[in-house]
Amino acid sequence: MKAYRKKRMKVDNTPFLPLDGKVYVMDSLNPGEKIKAEVLKTRVREHREIIEVLACPVCGNPMNWDPLWEAFICTKHGKKGIYEIVQQR
């Protein structure tokens, strides 16, 4: 069990920062609306930038990546927001 958990923790699924730097998210609990989000902090992994901290599009609270939800989660503006990154084409 411990080994299993350790292996899971090693998988870093933090999303990459798009080349144009524009990040759009979608509220998982209220899908359909694409919202532009501000990137507050990035980190370099495998020579590419990944999004470490994203501002909540509703209240501006800094949100860290949640690897289990595969989303950025904000609990600061009353209703819980689960923001997934929308992949640009």
Q: Considering only the stretches 5-13, 26-34, 36-44, 60-68, report the one whose residues sit in contact with Zn ion under the rule CB under 5 A.
A: 60-68
Nearest distance from residue 72's CB to Zn ion, in Å? Answer: 10
CA–CA gap between residue 29 and residue 75 (Å, rounded): 13
Q: Considering only the stretches 13-21, 24-32, 45-53, 76-84, report the one whose residues sit in contact with Zn ion under the rule CB under 5 A.
A: 76-84
For position 58 contacting Zn ion by CB under 5 A, the verdict is: yes
CA–CA gap between residue 63 and residue 52 (Å, rounded): 8
* Beta-bridge partner residues of 71: 66
- Token match 């501006």: residue? 60
Q: Which two tokens stand for residue 5?
A: 């958990």
For position 80 contacting Zn ion by CB under 5 A, the verdict is: no
Cβ closer to Zn ion: 39 or 49? 39
Cα angle at 69 between 64 and 73, to 5 degrees?
A: 40
Kindly list the residues in this chain that would bind Zn ion in the complex (CB under 5 A): 56, 58-59, 61, 74, 76-77
